[in-house]
Amino acid sequence: AYEISGVPKAIEKYLGNAEKYNITELPKISLSFLLDANGVVDLVSATASFTEWVTEEKEVRKKNKKKTQKSKDSKKEKDQDESKSETGETEDEKDAETEKSETADDDDTTGTAAADAETETETEEKPEIEFVHRKRTHRVDLNAVRIGPEDVKSMQQSDFAHSAKILLELDDRDRSVRETAHARNDLETYIFESRNRISDEKNVQKVSTEAERDAFLEVLNNAEDWIWDIEKESAGVYKSKIRELKQAGNDMFLRADELEARPAAIAAVGKTLSQLYESVEMLRTNYTWINATEIDKLENVTKKAEVWLNTKIEEQDEKSLLEKPAYLSYDIYYKVEPAVELAKKLLSRQKPYGWGKKKKAKNGTNTTTESAQSGKDGEEAYTSKIDADGEIENDDGDGADVEAENKDDSETEGQDANDKTDL
């Protein structure tokens, strides 16, 4: 609320002083408000406007113009001459010529008189005084003071706590309403989708009998009627009903889904097993710095997964489509996953620094320190040292062997990287 003051003082100034101001009407009060971004209205300005009519003298200069009229006598003479020319056709030619000459003289005289009659005459400019009425507006700024409401008291600490509690309760109610709506929507969606799958999907018909499908359809219809009959709705009630329906129909749908998922999983895992066997051969040939025990472990894990897969495939072939599957598609992926992780670990292991190279003895003599694997591969012995710039120099000046071995190492590492990508 705002308190506006200064109006009586302004009225006394302009309406009470009739000698100075010609104002007879009450002022017009104008209030300007501003709405900020928070939706709060604030008073910006308050003014009182007085309207005064003022009469002023103004000097105006005008030009007076007069216009003479045509002579009436010249007009009459012209009419008489025209009548004479019409009636004088029976007279002699001489008299006609005389009359024509006289008429021409009269016309010249008449034209000169008419031209003189139409001339305008101008008089001198004379100043005139006119009274002009003009409106003058007087604006007075008023005083505006914001005052607080008297009927609303300021909130105490306990009031703030109580209001916060109410807000939390309202939030819980809103959350409960949203969760209930989502749970009901999920239940209705499951009912409609299950009903469509039973009637449309051929795989469902292959893995179930007609009695099973009819029984489950009856359960779905009863659940749909139950939705409209429930009195007290809650998210927990709807979720419990969804679990009940899934328990009754998920076995049938699982058999239908696995009918296509198992062949795809077998094909993918068969390709993975082939890549694992290739990795074992590559590790034995190129990764000489890896212990043979770890490579054998990878081979054993791979064979174990292959044997398990073949056994489960034979068991599933003996079962009917109406029975519970011997294995599921995700079981195949879980079974081969340990072998894949072990292969990635071994293939990512880098060659130790200085593997298969000669080391220079401290007394200056060359001592051969070859490993058992380097002797099998027939690598030639050589000595090298690394200078400050990182370049490798041979003691005997022959750098061809070092370059050849570095090339072989780079090729081996490139092949290893390709094998990792395949896995």
10-residue block means of pLDDT along the chain (423 residues)? 86 83 86 86 88 80 53 51 48 47 46 45 63 84 81 79 93 94 94 92 90 93 91 90 92 92 94 94 91 93 94 92 90 93 92 73 47 40 32 38 44 46 42
Amino acid 246: pLDDT? 92
Amino acid 244: pLDDT? 93
DSSP-derived secondary structure letter, 89: G
For the chain, the helix, strand and coil percentages under 3-state DSSP, each to the nearest 5: 60, 15, 25
Q: What are phi and psi of 292, to 5 degrees?
A: -65, -25
Q: How big is the chain, counted in residues? A: 423
Amino acid 152: pLDDT? 66
- Asked if residues 386 and 396 have their Cβ atoms less than 8 Å apart, the reply is no
Per-residue DSSP letters for 120-170?
EEE---EEEEEEEEEEEEEEEEPEEEE---SSSPPP-HHHHHHHHHHHHHH
- Asked if residues 204 and 252 have their Cβ atoms less than 8 Å apart, the reply is yes
Instruction: Report the alpha-carbon distance of residue 385 to residue 364 in Å, rounded.
Output: 12
Residue type, 168: L
Instruction: Report the alpha-carbon distance of residue 287 to residue 343 in Å, rounded.
Output: 12
Amino acid 313: pLDDT? 92
Q: Residue 243 is encoded by which pair of tokens?
A: 């679990």
Three-class DSSP category at 331: helix
Per-residue DSSP letters for 58-71?
EEEEE--EEEPPPP
**How many CB atoms are located within 10 Å of the residue 142 CB?**
18
Residue with tokens 């100043």: 127
Amino acid 124: pLDDT? 54
Residues in Cβ contact with 415 at an 8 Å cutoff, skipping those fewer than 6 apart? 282, 286
Residues in Cβ contact with 192 at an 8 Å cutoff, skipping those fewer than 6 apart? none
Q: What are phi and psi of 49, to 5 degrees?
A: -110, 125
- Asked if residues 187 and 244 have their Cβ atoms less than 8 Å apart, the reply is no
If phi > 0 it is left, if psi is from -120 to 50 it is alpha, else beta; for residue 378 that is left
Instruction: Report the alpha-carbon distance of residue 227 to residue 238 in Å, rounded.
Output: 9
pTM value is 0.47
C-alpha Rg value of the chain to the nearest Å: 59
Pick from 253, 414, 273: which is nearest to 328 by CA?
Answer: 253
